[in-house]
């Protein structure tokens, strides 16, 4: 058996190797996670801006908590140097301010985060394309490497040129994928180990 086959076997769930209780537990897990994915996907499709705003609110709360912890370390951390204590207090206050801004402007913060993510994707594709072109001389299929590099660079430039449009479609595709994966999870909840459970009853 090859290493790749062994890796697949580790993650494969064979009902025959599980107890009846474990199978039922897995079916519940598949069903719950599938329903959650479908609901989140539908919410993201219907209210994309509000959903992104919720993410920004969570991020804002995290910043507030993380900032407060840093300030606390700066005030009560008597075992560290005065300079580090002052730095922790300053950084903590800055992080808390960022959290307050995120909470007060959640929709704008969510959109800004999404645009930032899209820009990073675009830059990543351009870098990946350049690397593919540079390394194409060493590749066995040089032609495919060059084609991949050119397409990757063009896609990256397109993403950077129209980040707003790309962000919208990224959200839509994520929502659709959530719904699809959720439906698959729900179907798996009904089918996983079904034949094994029937055989166990006989």
Give the pLDDT confidence of 52-80 residue by residue, as tens digits: 777 778 778 888 888 888 888 788 777 67
Closest-CA residue to 44 (of 165, 186, 168): 168
Domain ranges of the chain: 21-194
Question: Alpha carbon of 126 to those of 115, 138, 160, 188: distances in Å?
Answer: 17, 19, 10, 38
Closest-CA residue to 53 (of 114, 116, 121, 94): 114
Instruction: Tell me: pLDDT of 92 over 50.
Output: yes
Burial degree of 109 (CB within 10 A; 0-12, 13-18, 19+): buried
Global pTM value: 0.61
Question: Alpha carbon of 119 to those of 57, 125, 151, 161, 166: distances in Å?
Answer: 22, 10, 17, 9, 9
Within 51-192, strands assigned E span none
What is the CB-side half-sphere exposure of residue 185 using CA atoms within 13 A?
Answer: 19
In the prediction, which pLDDT does 159 show? 83
Residue-wise pLDDT tens digits, 150-177: 988 998 898 888 887 877 887 888 888 8
In the prediction, which pLDDT does 3 show? 42
- When mean pLDDT is compared across 39-48, 77-86, 87-96, the lowest value belongs to 77-86
């Amino acid at each position: 058996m090859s290493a790749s086959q062994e890796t697949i076997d580790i993650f494969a769930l064979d009902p025959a190797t599980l107890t009846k209780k474990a199978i039922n537990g897995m079916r519940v897990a598949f069903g719950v996670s599938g329903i959650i994915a479908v609901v989140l996907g539908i919410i993201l499709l219907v209210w994309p801006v509000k959903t992104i705003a919720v993410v920004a609110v969570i991020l804002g709360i995290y910043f507030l908590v993380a900032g407060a912890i840093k300030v606390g370390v700066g005030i009560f951390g008597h075992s560290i140097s005065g300079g580090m204590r002052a730095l922790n207090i300053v950084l903590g206050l800055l992080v808390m301010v960022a959290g307050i801004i995120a909470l007060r402007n959640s929709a704008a913060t969510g959109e800004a985060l999404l645009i930032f993510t899209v820009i990073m994707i675009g830059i990543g594709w351009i870098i990946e394309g350049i690397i593919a072109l540079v390394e194409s001389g060493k590749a066995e299929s040089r032609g495919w490497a060059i084609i991949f590099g050119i397409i990757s660079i063009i896609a990256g430039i397109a993403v950077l040129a129209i980040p707003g449009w790309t962000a919208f479609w990224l959200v839509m595709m994520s929502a659709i994928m959530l719904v699809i994966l959720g439906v698959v999870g729900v179907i798996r909840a009904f089918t996983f180990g079904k034949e094994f459970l029937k055989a166990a009853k006989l």
